[in-house]
Amino acid sequence: MRFIDNTILPSDITPKGVFEGRRELIKAAAAGSFGLALAPWFSREALASNPEKLAATLNPAYAVKDELSGYKNVTTYNNFYEFGTDKTDPFANAGTLQTRPWTISIEGLVKKPVTLDIDALLKLAPMEERVYRMRCVEGWSMVIPWDGYSLSKLLSKVEPLGSAKYVEFISLADRKQMPGVKSNILDWPYKEGLRLDEAMNPLTLLTFGLYGEALPKQNGAPVRIVVPWKYGFKSAKSIVKIRLTEEMPKTSWSQFDAREYGFYSNVNPLVDHPRWSQATERRIAENKGVFAPKIKTEMFNGYGDLVASMYSGMDLKKFY
Ligand code: MTE
């Protein structure tokens, strides 16, 4: 089995024929119409199992010059271990995820704990589209237009208590819908966490969509977190619970190996992963695939002006 490493193998990039094959052919067969599988709009519809439009307004404050990674790459090259460990598994297997009804509870050290239905959550604040650079711990990166609003808008509604220091995010773990949960590769449910100030930073996005459409299941439908200055594993998918705590929460990856996956996991080209360098990355973009040249990784993934002050005085080699 391939595990976390920093190379993108040619076999990791879904061959064109394969991804244009799988869901389209299944859907076309179901519709009794193979001819349709060739239409470009049909192909995009098939990549997203859930292609409702979201009325999101582009926020120019988060524009980047980088080329977008392309809808196909963003939706077929994924990490979502609940659906398997290969990059194409989430696209192939996440169709079984039921995203309605869906509730998310916000609990722990808050004045007003609440359980919200996903449709209420969608309306809680105006939806923005923000283009973020995303850096995976494995050494690849993408540029993705996400749709959502700052998590702080939700957290301020529940009124964190003075004793709250951390925010824990808990993903769904349902064996019936998620075949990967039968394996013991991670301690399920998938858990992640941020310090409260990181969670309240405007950059931290409660995310419902990408490219102006509801999140495809393989990207963490119906709601996930996106934290672009940290390695991708901090951005928990398909979350059902947000808990405010006094103690630093245990996270699935640090429980897997605390030496390799720290709590902070800020993108930092100066701190190597124990098994590989983090100094460069391969940017996955349309028509580049495995041949994408390596580019230098930036401190805090290039978001230092927005986040560095939260870590002043901290030794980031120690708090990796
Ligand atoms: N969230 C859950 N619940 N399960 C996962 O396996 N993988 C993480 C993160 N969130 C993961 C998860 C990792 S390692 C990465 S790089 C990103 O999701 C990938 O997000 P994307 O597939 O939308 O690009």
Integer Cα distance of 242 and 134 in angstroms: 22
Q: Which residue has the higher pLDDT, 73 or 8?
A: 73
Same domain (yes/no): 283, 157: yes
pTM: 0.87
CA of 79 to the centre of ligand 1 (A): 5
- From atom 11 of ligand 1, which residue's Cα is the shortest distance away? 80
Please check the confidence at residue 34 and state whether its pLDDT lies above 70: no
pLDDT for residue 50: 52
Integer Cα distance of 223 and 167 in angstroms: 16
Cβ atoms of 95 and 218 within 8 Å: the answer is: no
Integer Cα distance of 9 and 245 in angstroms: 40
Both tokens assigned to 114: 């609440």
Which stretches within 32-113 are classed as H helix? 40-47, 71-76, 89-93
pLDDT for residue 9: 35
Please check the confidence at residue 49 and state whether its pLDDT lies above 70: no
pLDDT for residue 42: 45
Same domain (yes/no): 42, 191: no
How confident is the model over 76-96, as a mean pLDDT? Answer: 97
Cβ atoms of 75 and 91 within 8 Å: the answer is: yes
Same domain (yes/no): 70, 23: no
Please check the confidence at residue 186 and state whether its pLDDT lies above 50: yes
Same domain (yes/no): 159, 297: yes
Q: Which of 30-34, 250-254, 297-301 has the lowest mean pLDDT?
A: 30-34
pLDDT for residue 47: 74
Same domain (yes/no): 31, 83: no
Counting from 1 in the atom list of ligand 1, the atom nearest the Cα of 231 is: 16
Helices (H) and strands (E) in the chain, counts: 9, 13
Q: Cα–Cα distances in Å, from 194 out to 201, 248, 308?
A: 10, 8, 15
Please check the confidence at residue 238 and state whether its pLDDT lies above 70: yes
Same domain (yes/no): 24, 104: no
Same domain (yes/no): 36, 117: no
Same domain (yes/no): 70, 184: yes
Same domain (yes/no): 182, 276: yes
Please check the confidence at residue 15 and state whether its pLDDT lies above 50: no
Which pLDDT tens digit goes with each residue over 274-287? 999 999 999 998 87
CA of 237 to the centre of ligand 1 (A): 6
The tally of domains found in the chain comes to 2
Please check the confidence at residue 122 and state whether its pLDDT lies above 50: yes
Please check the confidence at residue 108 and state whether its pLDDT lies above 50: yes
List all residues 6 or more positions away from 282 whose beta carbon is below 8 Å from its beta carbon.
Answer: 8, 139, 140, 141, 290, 292, 293, 294, 295
The range of the structural domain enclosing residue 28 comes to 14-48
Integer Cα distance of 85 and 92 in angstroms: 12
Cβ atoms of 264 and 251 within 8 Å: the answer is: no
| 149 located within any domain | yes
CATH of the domain at 226: 3.90.420.10
Same domain (yes/no): 26, 121: no
Counting from 1 in the atom list of ligand 1, the atom nearest the Cα of 253 is: 14
Counting from 1 in the atom list of ligand 1, the atom nearest the Cα of 190 is: 3
Both tokens assigned to 211: 């490219």
Q: Residue written as tokens 């980047």?
A: 64
Cβ atoms of 292 and 307 within 8 Å: the answer is: no
Mutate to test the pocket of ligand 1, among 132, 235, 256, 284 (most ligand atoms within 8 A of CB): 235
Report the pocket of ligand 1 as residue ranges, CB < 6 Å: 78-82, 136, 171, 190, 219-220, 232-233, 235-238
CA of 24 to the centre of ligand 1 (A): 24
Q: Which residue has the higher pLDDT, 174 or 36?
A: 174
Please check the confidence at residue 198 and state whether its pLDDT lies above 50: yes
CA of 283 to the centre of ligand 1 (A): 17
Which stretch of DSSP H or E encloses residue 198?
A: helix 196-200
